[in-house]
Structure 1
Amino acid sequence: MGSDRQVDRTLKLRKLMQKVGINSFSKLAQLTGTSAHTIHKLRSNKLDTLRWQTLVKISSVLQISVNELIDIFGDKSISESTNSLEMLQQEYQHLQQQLSEQRSSLQAEFQYQSLQILESFLTYFPAAKYAARNNPDFPASKIFPLVQSIDRLIQQWGVTLIGEIGSEIAYDPRWHQLIEGAANPDELVTVRYTGYRQDNKLIFRAKVSK
């Protein structure tokens, strides 16, 4: 009886494989990133021994839902067990959370590295805009439309300026780099080149003078 069920599951699996152009169990194992032993479990009424991530991979390659995979290859008494289902759901949610945290971490690191690369542009371009405002004939005014997208990009990343060029602010060594003169913390200094930070994370300091 058990052998008949295994044959039945094997036939069903072959039909699903044929629909997506997979002609062997070894190819299925390769595409799902699993093993021949895992595929054998799928055909041998041992679906409950497979991890949720594995079920997701197999169902994705076969282009069916995880629920369909369980209905076809799982033992009904096991697949309908509340405790087993809750464990699968918890594991799935944990995996989703891990993936979400990993994406957020990679995105933040990408943004920060990109901003480091743009340091020279971000430092000196505000000075060009400042000069253009005071002299409409300044050639830099012609390039403003070309760089508006960069302004929007850094705003979307939560990047803020440290000091407006020409403004007087209280000197803070954490956020300001003194390039001329001498100043103690909290003394007024003049911003020469804008600095940037992302939330409370310093990208580079504003350049100031006394």
Structure 2
Amino acid sequence: MSSERQLDLTLQLKELMQKVGINSFKQLYRSTGTSADAIGKLRSGNLNTLRWQTLVNISDTLEISVNELIDTFGEQLSSNKTQPNVSKSSHQALKTLQHEYQHLQHQFQQQREILQAEFQYQSLQTLESFLTYFPTAKYAAAQNHDFPASKILPLVQSIDRLIQQWDVSIIGTVGARVEYDPRWHQLIAGTATPEELVTVRYVGYRQDDKLIFRAKVSN
């Protein structure tokens, strides 16, 4: 690598360091948990010899993505064809790192969505008693403003917002007459056959097509 190119990479690295409050290369390799040799390779654009975790540590410290790190300090490997020490294998090594990073990002996003959905579902299960009986109390308060429960309505608006954010749908409306459907309704009094009209006593909840708990109904 030419001295001009190395100077250019060093200046770019210093700019990134200044943005995150790092004032020296010594402070940089201590912050990243890497060695002075690793930072030297970064300044020379020799990324293909660095371990994947080292690239992640450096990019996290500089608050940029691994792709940005590779594009900034590794582009010489793919764009400058005049350097004899730049080989196809070096170029391929960077491409492999980029592909691995993108694959891990995709896996992380999928895992995050799965964990988030599971957390929401378990939380809703924990809130079953509140979610079941509060709509009925709210209905009674709406019918009678002197009903004591009316005083607590403003306190639970955050619960309603939370349910909306989680794309949770309420099954039924308290007092409504609906066709009995065992998939979504739990009969708590009397008897009923599918499609027979019943009255919703307590609402149920579902998230998309996933049942959380059924609406409680009677005939």
Q: State the TM-score, normalized to the length of structure 1.
A: 0.72
- The SS at the match of 2:33 is helix
Q: 1:159 aligns with which of 164, 168, 178?
A: 168
> Is the counterpart of residue 19 in structure 1 residue 27 in structure 2?
yes
- For the residues of structure 2 that align with 1:148 and 1:126, how far apart are their CA atoms? 12
Counterpart of 2:105, as a letter, is Q
Alpha-carbon deviation of 1:92? Answer: 1.4
Residues 50 and 172 from structure 1, CA distance in 2 versus in 1: closer, same or farther, beyond 3 angstroms?
Answer: farther
Query: Which stretch of the first structure deviates more once superposed, 81-90 or 110-119?
Result: 81-90
Q: 2:108 aligns with which of 96, 99, 115?
A: 99
Q: 1:127 aligns with which of 127, 136, 147?
A: 136
Q: 1:111 aligns with which of 108, 120, 140?
A: 120
Alpha-carbon deviation of 1:157? Answer: 0.5
- The SS at the match of 1:77 is coil
> Unpaired segments of 5 or more residues in structure 2?
1-22, 76-82
Residues 94 and 132 from structure 1, CA distance in 2 versus in 1: closer, same or farther, beyond 3 angstroms?
Answer: same
Fraction of identical pairs, as percent: 60
Q: Would the aligned equivalents of 1:17 and 1:62 in 2 still touch at CA under 8 Å?
A: no
Query: Which stretch of the first structure deviates more once superposed, 195-204 or 56-65?
Result: 56-65
Matches within 5 A, 1:60-71: 60-61=60-61, 66-67=69-70, 70=74
Residues 48 and 144 from structure 1, CA distance in 2 versus in 1: closer, same or farther, beyond 3 angstroms?
Answer: same
Cα RMSD, aligned residues only? 3.4
- The SS at the match of 2:145 is coil
| Residue number in structure 2 paired with 1:57 | 57
Query: Which stretch of the first structure deviates more once superposed, 88-97 or 111-120?
Result: 88-97
- For the residues of structure 2 that align with 1:136 and 1:41, how far apart are their CA atoms? 70
- For the residues of structure 2 that align with 1:51 and 1:179, how far apart are their CA atoms? 62
> Unpaired segments of 5 or more residues in structure 1?
1-14, 30-35
- For the residues of structure 1 that align with 2:60 and 2:145, how far apart are their CA atoms? 59
Q: How many residues align?
A: 183
* CA displacement 1:88-144 (0-9 Å, x = unmatched): 222111111011111111111111111111111100100111111111110111111
Q: Would the aligned equivalents of 1:163 and 1:195 in 2 still touch at CA under 8 Å?
A: yes
Alpha-carbon deviation of 1:63? Answer: 7.0
- For the residues of structure 2 that align with 1:172 and 1:53, how far apart are their CA atoms? 54
- For the residues of structure 2 that align with 1:206 and 1:194, how far apart are their CA atoms? 4
- For the residues of structure 2 that align with 1:145 and 1:22, how far apart are their CA atoms? 51
Q: 1:175 aligns with which of 160, 181, 184?
A: 184
Q: 1:209 aligns with which of 197, 210, 218?
A: 218
- For the residues of structure 2 that align with 1:51 and 1:41, how far apart are their CA atoms? 9
Counterpart of 2:106, as a letter, is Q
| Residue number in structure 2 paired with 1:77 | 86
- For the residues of structure 2 that align with 1:122 and 1:60, how far apart are their CA atoms? 41
- For the residues of structure 2 that align with 1:140 and 1:63, how far apart are their CA atoms? 50
